[in-house]
């Protein structure tokens, strides 16, 4: 797909209207793709941590998801403070059934993300961030 700057992008869609609160306004980051894998394939060999930058001035923090324009919905999830942003933005009706029916469900289940304690936090970004911190540290 194409991002807001006209660059090739992987998984960079907006939440589907039928999956969102009509009063919620989502924003796509427009500062991503500076090190795009599509324009700079040599970046595939670099450690992902090299693309992490803390927020400064008017610039939000950034990560490999944003900089590489790969699965950019992760960067937009954090920017919009909605842990379900990615789930709301991917139309599984257009994806190969074998992928999301087998991989995604097992991946989420094996990581414990379908447990009651995670599901209870699905609309609480701050609490989910605290709970998830040990998983990403």
The share of the chain scoring above pLDDT 70, in percent, equals 91
Strand partners for 53: 62
Between 21-35, 56-70, 98-112, the lowest mean confidence (pLDDT) is in 98-112
Q: How far apart are CA 78 and CA 81, in angstroms?
A: 5
More reliable by pLDDT, 122 or 136: 122
Q: How far apart are CA 134 and CA 39, in angstroms?
A: 34
Residue 120's contacts (CB-CB under 8 Å, 6 or more residues apart) are: none
Q: How far apart are CA 125 and CA 31, in angstroms?
A: 22
How far CA 82 is from CA of 31, 34, 48, in Å, comes to 19, 24, 23
Tell me: pLDDT of 136 over 70. Answer: no
Q: Rounded to the nearest 5°, which phi and psi values hold at 107?
A: -60, -50
Maximum alpha-carbon separation in the chain: 44
Q: For 33-61, how does the pLDDT look when each residue is reduced to its tens digit (9 = 90+)?
A: 999 999 999 999 999 999 999 999 988 89
Tell me: pLDDT of 137 over 50. Answer: no
The share of the chain scoring above pLDDT 90, in percent, equals 61
User: What integer pLDDT is reported at residue 112 of this predicted model?
Assistant: 86
Q: How far apart are CA 3 and CA 9, in angstroms?
A: 6
Query: Confidence band (pLDDT; 50, 70, 90) for 133?
Result: confident
DSSP structure class, residue 100: I
User: What integer pLDDT is reported at residue 107 of this predicted model?
Assistant: 79
């Amino acid at each position: 797909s194409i991002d807001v700057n006209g660059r090739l992008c992987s998984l960079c869609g907006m939440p589907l209207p039928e999956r969102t609160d009509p009063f919620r306004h989502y924003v796509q980051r427009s500062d991503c793709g500076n090190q795009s894998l599509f324009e700079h394939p040599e970046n595939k060999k670099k450690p992902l941590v090299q693309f992490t930058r803390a927020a400064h001035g008017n610039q939000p923090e950034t990560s490999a998801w944003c900089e590489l324009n790969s699965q950019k919905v992760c960067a937009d999830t954090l920017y919009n403070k909605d842990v379900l942003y990615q789930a709301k933005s991917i139309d599984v009706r257009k994806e190969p059934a074998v992928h999301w029916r087998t991989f995604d469900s097992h991946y989420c289940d094996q990581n414990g993300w379908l447990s009651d304690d995670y599901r209870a936090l699905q609309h609480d970004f701050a609490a989910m961030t605290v709970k998830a911190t040990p998983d990403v540290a």
